[in-house]
Amino acid sequence: MKDIYLSVIIPCYNEERNIRLGALENVSHFLNKKKYPWEVILVNDGSKDDSVKLIGEFIKDHSCFKLLNIIHQGKAAAVISGVFESKGKIILFSDLDQATPIAEIDKLLPNFSKGFDIVIGSRSGHRRGAPFFRLAMARGFMVLRNMILNLGIRDTQCGFKAFRKETAGNIFSRLKVFSLSRQAQGPTVTAGFDVELLYLAKLLGYRVKEVSVEWNYQETRHVNPIKDSIEGVMDLLRIRLNSLKGIYEKK
């Protein structure tokens, strides 16, 4: 078997609707046209609907798709678990609702040959279909993020990010605010996870490239505007405090 070039990590928490709408078929249809070896790791984050049943039926006929089951800990833990399980030279994590279509990976991959270590999708202010309150949340979080951490990245929250394998291993193993020990109850999508990843990338001197990608708003029950906003700000403060204490420099 050839070495896997691309690993796609897709977290799943109660995604029965998107699975029935053909999200997995769309991913498979696109990747099957590629000449490089690939794998898709679907990480079931303790789903309570029929997601696992539907994924099980799907992977019977799609050998490059794998199912990884974990206890419910939230999206961050699902992504982390998938990254540690992956074998690809390039690791991408993407959302199952395909708000950013998998085809956008074609815009990211060429940048690795240009010397970049991490290539992230950016909505660049174009958030098609997003309601006003989501736009306001994004704008407010961006202002606070710049004040507290000064990352120098316009869009940290697009759920479409790719890493060199060795880069991912180094960054994901250093996460402190988000790790496999963090527990979750109910739908959990935490903005601080992406920020901690990118803050570590900056701290470790990795080259990060933002690439404009297509993004379409998808209605989801996984976002609680008030709760997630408060948690996001608290996570920014935790990241800043960890940095001041020198915790991220310890390995």
Indicate which CATH number applies to the domain containing 101. Answer: 3.90.550.10
251 within a domain of the structure (yes/no):
no
Q: Which two tokens stand for residue 86?
A: 């992956």
Mean pLDDT of 94-105: 95
Mean pLDDT of 47-75: 96
Rounded Cα distance, 97 and 19, in Å: 8
pTM of the model: 0.87
Rounded Cα distance, 34 and 62, in Å: 15
From edge to edge, which strands make up the β-sheet containing 208-212? Answer: 65-70, 38-45, 6-12, 90-94, 160-164, 118-122, 208-212
151 within a domain of the structure (yes/no):
yes
Higher pLDDT, 181 or 186: 181
Total domain count, the chain: 1
Q: Given this model, what pLDDT does residue 221 score?
A: 53
In order of 37, 67, 110, 205, 211, the CA distances from 88 in angstroms are 9, 16, 16, 22, 21
1 within a domain of the structure (yes/no):
no
Per-residue confidence at 94, pLDDT binned at 50, 70, 90?
Answer: very high
Higher pLDDT, 146 or 200: 200
250 within a domain of the structure (yes/no):
no
Rounded Cα distance, 101 and 83, in Å: 20
Higher pLDDT, 227 or 244: 244
Convert the pLDDT of each residue in 138-167 to its tens digit: 565 666 667 778 888 888 888 999 999 999
Q: Can you give the residue range of the structural domain that contains 95?
A: 6-245
33 within a domain of the structure (yes/no):
yes
193 within a domain of the structure (yes/no):
yes
Higher pLDDT, 182 or 59: 59
107 within a domain of the structure (yes/no):
yes
Q: Given this model, what pLDDT does residue 89 score?
A: 98
